[in-house]
Structures are given as C-alpha cells and as structure tokens.
Structure 1
Amino acid sequence: MAITVTEAAANHIGNYLQNRGKGLGIRLGVKTSGCSGMAYVLEFVDELSDDDQVFPSHGVKVVVDEKSLVYLDGTELDFVKHGLNEGFEFKNPNIKDECGCGESFNV
C-alpha cells in the first residue's frame, strides 16, 4: 500500500508546515460527503495515532489512517495551477465514479 506526493505538492505542504511553525506532516483522509459518497480531507498532523500509516516523500510526510487507506491506496497527491486557480489534485486509481462538480467520488 502506498500514497505518493509529487514534488510540487511536497513543496506546497512544506511551505505550509514551515509557515505554521509546527506539525509532523499532513493527513489525507476521506469522509462521507457530496452526491457521490466520499470527499477528500486534508489537515495538519501534530500527533500520530496507533492506526496511522506514514508515507514520506520529497521531505514531507503524508499520514493516512487505516480506514481511509482502503479507499486511497495508490493515490498520488499533486498541486496544480490552472490559470488563476490552484489547488491539490488527487489521482486515485480506486475511483469508479465522480460527481459532476468534482467534489466527491465513490469506489
């Protein structure tokens, strides 16, 4: 099982952690939401839980709990800019369907 991070995403995460002044990394998870069933969650990690898996990449750590890892295994986290818009992009090979607005998915 693995989660990967592009260099662009790692740089962005690293900058946020540096500006924040603390944190072990960033947590990637899923929650029930949206019209397709699940949505991604990103938040800072200050402490690890017993069921956390840590995926270091390009100098940053992505933390995923066991329940979310089932849905996220093989996902690549990227940071992209499209014109004036920028943000994280998830390349998840487990997705079977996404909603039209791109905010939620199901596996």
Structure 2
Amino acid sequence: MFAIPGTSPVSITPAAAAQIVRLMVGKDAYGLRIGLKKGGCAGMEYTMELAATPAPNEEVVELNGARVMIAPMAQMFLFGTEIDYETGLLESGFRFRNPNVTDSCGCGESVRFEPIEGSRAQS
C-alpha cells in the first residue's frame, strides 16, 4: 500500500526472524502481524499478534522462514523500521528501531509520530 517497489517496508534481524519462526511453529501460525493503536503516554503503541492468514492489503515481509504482516494503517508509520529481538538478564523482547518516531515514553512502550500533512495531530 505504501511500499516502494523493490524495497522492503521493514527489515528483520536474524535474531527476530528466529524468534518469529519459534512463535509461528509453536502456534501453527502463518506469521506475526504488527500494527499500531492509540494508547500509552506518548500516543501510540505497537501491536503484535500471531495470525493464520494475511488480511487484504497487508504487506508481508519474509526472512529465513519468518513472516511479518504489516497492517495497512500502520504501513506508513513503520516504513524503514528494523525489527529486532533482544535477550537480556531481566527481560527479552522485540525491539522496533523506527526512524519515523519523534518521541517515546520513558519505558519505551509507546511512541509518537509527526502528524501527516492534512491529518489531525496525534495525541
């Protein structure tokens, strides 16, 4: 929908791909759907869910058997994002390195984007 021909809208690190494949196999899912919803102290939160099939107009990115489906309304906000999976002593999880983010909350759970020209400001 918002893709540039020949350019993947997001990139997936090998660590993220391995974790996505583990999740897909464990739940017999087609892939991991990512999106955005209003919420959090910065205004928007990433969403993730395993899905059996891609929805219409979703962008599907594949790497090493991992599939990420990007919800249509999130595509313009996620373009250029690197999806990683980090394992630490206290916590492990997916990390989104998104060049479109203009602000984020202290805990890193919610983000803010510049308003798109002609649209209402995001809260």
SS of the equivalent of 2:101 reads coil
Aligned partner of 1:26 among 23, 32, 56: 32
Whole-angstrom CA distance in 2 between matches of 1:7 and 1:48: 22
For structure 1, the residue ranges without an aligned partner over 5 or more in a row are: none
Kindly state the Cα deviation for residue 84 of structure 1 after the two structures are TM-superposed.
2.8
1:99 corresponds to which residue?
105
For each residue in 1:60-94, what CA deviation from the matched residue of structure 2 results, as whole angstroms up to 9, or x when unmatched? 11001221011111111100022231111110010
Aligned partner of 1:41 among 38, 44, 47: 47
Whole-angstrom CA distance in 1 between matches of 2:54 and 2:98: 24
Q: Report which of the two has the higher share of strand.
A: 1
Deviant stretches of 4+, over 4 Å: none
* CA RMSD after TM alignment: 1.1
For structure 2, the residue ranges without an aligned partner over 5 or more in a row are: 4-8, 114-123
Aligned partner of 1:63 among 64, 69, 76: 69
Tell me, yes or no, if structure 1 residue 14 matches structure 2 residue 21. Answer: yes
SS of the equivalent of 1:96 reads strand
Whole-angstrom CA distance in 1 between matches of 2:55 and 2:26: 24
Whole-angstrom CA distance in 1 between matches of 2:88 and 2:22: 20
TM-score normalised by length of structure 2? 0.81
Higher relative contact order (CA 8 A, sep 6+): 1
How many residues are treated as equivalent by the alignment?
106
Whole-angstrom CA distance in 1 between matches of 2:105 and 2:90: 23
Q: Mark the structure with the bigger radius of gyration.
A: 2
Report the identity percentage: 35
Letter in 2 for 1:44: L
Letter in 1 for 2:92: E
TM-score normalised by length of structure 1? 0.93
